[in-house]
């Protein structure tokens, strides 16, 4: 039996699915699933569908270096498979970069569920005490909602939730959901941290509503790399110094650069 056949069978059982249920979820026949699990290989266009269904990367589904990747490397592979991590030559405000991160390509519910769980894990591992999750529009809205749900479903944590508006509504409100009060401790969720200036501007606008305490800023990537020092200071460092907040990211720019150099992506 091939490695991919064994993995499909193991992952299906781990999800608690019958062959018929997997067939329904992936829009194929029961006979196709049975064939996959008995030595046949899925068509190439089915690989991302199966990977998303099982919540793994395509490499993991096919058994490539499954046990040799670190968690960060697996996440970077997920970014690449989803089209979030783009290779090439990019000008990032005067810095010549060989990759670009476009978080808009985290488009499926599986992606959001994974991100929410990663963020919730980061928050809980730091033993943070906080009252509210705040998403930064626009990309941080869905990520923060996923984080709030993962905190509830995985850890049983109940907190308030809101996200900001880039444009106030007809009543002048800049927040949707809970309205923070003076003294509340918040965790800010966004997609990327670059120079940090945009995040600071949004936090300061939020602090006009209430004098909140920023406990942490959580994001997918701290885009800052050592080679960027000549172009701008670390955005994470600016946030830490200004608010005394922890900056928590799944991976860093240096993690991605290292993965590229090692041929992981």
| Separation of alpha carbons 30 and 23, rounded Å | 5
Q: Chain-wide mean pLDDT for the chain? A: 90
Mean pLDDT over 7-32 rounds to 91
Judged against a pLDDT cut of 90, whether residue 73 lies above it is answered with no
Judged against a pLDDT cut of 80, whether residue 218 lies above it is answered with yes
- Token digits of residue 53: 């269904």
- Token digits of residue 117: 């769980």
227 SS3 class: helix
Judged against a pLDDT cut of 60, whether residue 230 lies above it is answered with no
> What is the DSSP code string of 63-77?
TTTTTTS-HHHHHHH
Judged against a pLDDT cut of 60, whether residue 67 lies above it is answered with no
Q: Say how many CA atoms lie within 13 Å of 191 toward its Cβ.
A: 16
Fold agreement (3-68, 106-253):
no
State the CATH class of domain 3-68.
mainly alpha
Q: Are β-strands 132-135 and 185-189 bridged in parallel, bridged antiparallel, or unpaired?
A: parallel
What stretches of the chain show up as alpha helix (H) in DSSP?
Answer: 3-14, 19-26, 30-37, 47-54, 58-62, 71-82, 109-125, 139-155, 197-206, 235-243, 253-261
Asked if 215 and 130 touch (Cβ cutoff 8 Å), the reply is yes
Judged against a pLDDT cut of 70, whether residue 124 lies above it is answered with yes
Mean pLDDT lowest among 206-220, 222-236, 237-251:
222-236
Give the highest mean pLDDT range of 36-40, 75-79, 132-136. 132-136
Q: Which fold has domain 106-253?
A: Rossmann fold (3.40.50)
Where along the chain do its domains lie?
3-68, 106-253
Q: Say how many CA atoms lie within 13 Å of 265 toward its Cβ.
A: 27
User: If you ran DSSP here, which 8-state letter would residue 182 be given?
Assistant: T
Residues near 90 by Cβ (< 8 Å), separated by ≥ 6?
Answer: 96, 97, 98, 99, 100
Asked if 192 and 236 touch (Cβ cutoff 8 Å), the reply is no
98 SS3 class: strand
């Amino acid at each position: 039996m091939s490695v991919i056949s064994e993995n499909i069978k193991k992952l299906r059982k781990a999800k608690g699915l019958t062959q018929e249920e997997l067939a329904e979820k992936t829009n194929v026949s029961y006979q196709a699933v049975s064939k996959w699990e008995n030595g046949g290989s899925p068509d190439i266009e089915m690989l991302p569908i199966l990977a998303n269904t099982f919540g793994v990367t395509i490499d993991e589904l096919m058994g490539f270096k499954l046990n040799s990747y670190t968690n960060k490397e697996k996440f970077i592979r997920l970014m690449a498979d989803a089209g979030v991590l783009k290779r090439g030559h990019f000008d990032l405000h005067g810095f010549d970069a060989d990759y670009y991160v476009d978080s808009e390509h985290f488009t499926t519910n599986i992606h959001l569920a994974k991100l929410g769980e990663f963020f919730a894990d980061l928050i809980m591992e730091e033993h943070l005490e906080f009252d509210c999750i705040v998403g930064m529009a626009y990309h941080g809205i869905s990520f923060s909602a996923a984080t709030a749900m993962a905190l509830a479903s995985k850890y049983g944590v109940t907190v308030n939730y809101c996200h900001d508006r880039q444009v106030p509504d007809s009543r002048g409100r800049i927040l949707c959901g809970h309205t923070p009060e003076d003294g509340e401790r918040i965790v800010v969720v966004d997609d990327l941290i670059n120079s940090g200036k945009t995040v600071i501007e949004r936090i300061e606008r939020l602090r006009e509503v209430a004098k909140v305490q920023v406990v942490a800023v959580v994001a997918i990537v701290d885009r800052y790399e050592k080679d960027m020092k000549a172009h701008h200071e670390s955005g994470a460092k600016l946030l830490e110094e200004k608010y005394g907040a922890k900056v928590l990211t799944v991976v860093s720019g240096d993690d991605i650069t290292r993965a590229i150099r090692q041929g992981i992506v």
